[in-house]
């Protein structure tokens, strides 16, 4: 649990400097951050699990997103961008 808390703090500090009112930009920043973190060959398995778990959650959010819905809106998202982000997440997960 301590590893998870430390990673979440790291994520929060990394993305808090980015001012974005669009969820799409926030998701993109998170995916980019996780991709960089997972490239580190010395990353502990427990830490890797946290990043991959969050990526799966983002992936599921994108899969369940309905562009015309207001209840699960993702601001700034287009269908083509959602497809691209899902593809990017899958490529990151399959590398590891």
DSSP state of 74: -
What average pLDDT does the segment 66-82 reach?
86
For residue 76, count CB atoms less than 10 angstroms from its CB and return exposed for 0-12, middle for 13-18, buried for 19 or more. middle
Instruction: Give the pLDDT score at 62.
Output: 93
**1 near 47, Cβ under 8 Å?**
no
Place of tokens 């590893």: 3
What average pLDDT does the segment 12-22 reach?
69
Whole-structure pTM value: 0.81
Instruction: Give the pLDDT score at 13.
Output: 80
Instruction: Give the pLDDT score at 81.
Output: 93
Q: What angle do CA 88, 13, 71 make, to 5 degrees?
A: 55
Round to whole Å and give the CA distance between 29 and 85.
Answer: 11
């Amino acid at each position: 649990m301590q590893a998870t808390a430390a990673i979440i703090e790291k994520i929060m500090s990394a993305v808090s400097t980015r001012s974005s009112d669009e969820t799409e930009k926030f998701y993109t920043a998170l995916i980019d951050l996780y991709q960089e973190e997972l490239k580190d060959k010395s990353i502990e398995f427990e830490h890797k699990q946290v990043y991959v778990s969050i990526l799966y959650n983002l992936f599921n959010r994108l899969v369940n997103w309905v562009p015309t819905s207001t209840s699960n809106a993702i601001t700034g998202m287009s269908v083509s961008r959602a497809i691209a982000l899902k593809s990017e997440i899958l490529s990151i997960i399959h590398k590891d």
